[in-house]
């Protein structure tokens, strides 16, 4: 069973309510039908009811069992607007501006549903940028306790199963923070460990990667990874975290024990934390293409409640998978 199949099985075992903010988008409408049919989550599409129903009819989609909420007609819209105003008034937002946002911007409406516990998770991004999806989440949901930054990771399922846990690994951050500080890198490490545990049942062994292992090279980039490792230990002393480690020291047991003897992580890491976005993005794509790995993600992490982003080139099945991920994260 692949890692995404395992995630779907977990989602089906404890149904959560996921709101899809782009409710008139064709792939999203088609995905909603599949999600309900596969019993992965309860689903609500956000959008003008007539437009959602017209799009479903055009696509031949049966919306039986799928919720539809129209912000312009919903009785909770004034409540959401008042709460948004209270949250953002110190930033200069007026009640009129809050009302317009939740009435006309489905991303803000869906995020308020999540904030007010009217949904367990949110998915969007098929027709909106990552920045547009994350902006209301950062303003309204904010970060999880003890975590100061929102980041991302990929679940990597490598066919030869030689490394990680039977081939399953977590790579972070590969999509959000271009040049993380030591504090941000530490938060990425902790969040990536939590994601691996929640979604793939990993017992996290976290390696913070560098071109140096335990001081074998001297450079400010190495110092940053060393400092990040120290901070990560302070944030989550219960986790097995080691750094700085070169990739071979993190993955190959003979190399790991030679370069970092006695380490609980070296040579058997299943969570790899890259020093910056260039390395992370290049790394996951190389493993995906050269090793034929399945790359599940990007998975947004660090928020107090599950908000997941989609690629604008996503397929219907991609949306189904991301909803399953959001549902499992909501279980936690």
- The per-residue pLDDT for 167 is 92
- The per-residue pLDDT for 175 is 86
- Whether residue 148 is predicted with pLDDT greater than 90 in this model: the reply is no
The reply to whether omega before 244 is within 30° of 0 (cis) is yes
What is the band of 54 on the pLDDT scale with cuts at 50, 70, 90?
Answer: very high
Listed in sequence order, the residues at least 6 apart from 331 whose beta carbon sits closer than 8 Å to its beta carbon are 10, 11, 14, 16, 198
- The per-residue pLDDT for 26 is 96
- The per-residue pLDDT for 296 is 85
What is the band of 2 on the pLDDT scale with cuts at 50, 70, 90?
Answer: confident
The encoded tokens of residue 134 equal 């994350």
- The per-residue pLDDT for 297 is 80
pTM surpassing 0.95?
Answer: no
What is the band of 76 on the pLDDT scale with cuts at 50, 70, 90?
Answer: very high
Q: Which residue has the higher pLDDT, 147 or 212?
A: 212
What is the band of 130 on the pLDDT scale with cuts at 50, 70, 90?
Answer: confident
Average pLDDT over residues 176-195: 94
Average pLDDT over residues 58-74: 95
Query: Tell me: the pLDDT tens digits for 105-114?
Result: 999 999 999 9
Mean per-residue pLDDT over the chain, rounded: 94
CB 268 within 8 A of CB 205: yes
Q: CA-CA distance, 304 to 150, in Å (whole number)?
A: 10
What is the band of 147 on the pLDDT scale with cuts at 50, 70, 90?
Answer: confident
What is the band of 146 on the pLDDT scale with cuts at 50, 70, 90?
Answer: confident
Listed in sequence order, the residues at least 6 apart from 110 whose beta carbon sits closer than 8 Å to its beta carbon are 19, 20, 21, 46, 119, 122, 124
- The per-residue pLDDT for 151 is 94
- Whether residue 1 is predicted with pLDDT greater than 80 in this model: the reply is no
| CA 241 to chain centroid | 21
């Amino acid at each position: 069973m692949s890692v995404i199949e395992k995630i779907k099985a977990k989602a089906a075992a404890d149904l959560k309510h996921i709101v899809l903010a782009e409710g008139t988008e064709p792939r999203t409408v088609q995905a909603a039908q599949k999600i309900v049919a596969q019993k992965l989550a309860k689903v609500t599409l956000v959008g003008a009811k007539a437009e959602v129903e017209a799009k479903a009819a055009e696509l031949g989609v049966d919306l039986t069992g799928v919720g539809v909420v129209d912000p312009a007609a919903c009785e909770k819209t004034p409540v959401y607007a008042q709460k948004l105003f209270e949250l953002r008034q110190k930033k200069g937002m007026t009640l009129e501006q809050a009302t317009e946002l939740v009435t006309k911007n489905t991303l803000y409406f869906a995020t308020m549903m999540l904030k007010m516990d009217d949904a367990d998770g949110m998915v969007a991004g098929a027709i909106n940028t990552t920045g547009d999806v994350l902006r209301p989440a950062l303003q309204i949901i904010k970060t999880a306790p003890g975590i100061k930054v929102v980041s991302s990771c990929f679940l990597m399922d490598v066919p030869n199963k030689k490394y990680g846990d039977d081939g399953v690994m977590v790579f972070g951050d590969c999509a959000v923070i271009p040049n993380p500080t030591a504090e941000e890198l530490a938060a990425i490490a902790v969040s990536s460990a939590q994601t691996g545990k929640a979604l793939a049942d990993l017992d996290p062994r976290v390696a913070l990667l560098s071109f140096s292992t335990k001081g074998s090279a001297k450079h400010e980039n190495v110092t940053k990874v060393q400092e990040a490792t120290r901070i990560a230990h302070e944030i989550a002393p219960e986790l097995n975290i080691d750094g700085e480690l070169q990739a071979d020291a993190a993955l190959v047991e003979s190399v790991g024990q030679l370069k970092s003897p006695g380490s609980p992580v070296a040579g058997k890491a299943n969570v790899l934390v890259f020093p910056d976005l260039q390395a992370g993005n290049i790394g996951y794509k190389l493993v995906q293409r050269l090793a034929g790995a399945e790359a599940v993600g990007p998975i947004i992490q660090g928020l107090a409640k599950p908000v997941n982003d989609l690629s604008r080139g996503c397929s219907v099945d991609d949306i189904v998978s991301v909803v399953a991920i959001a549902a499992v994260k909501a279980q936690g």
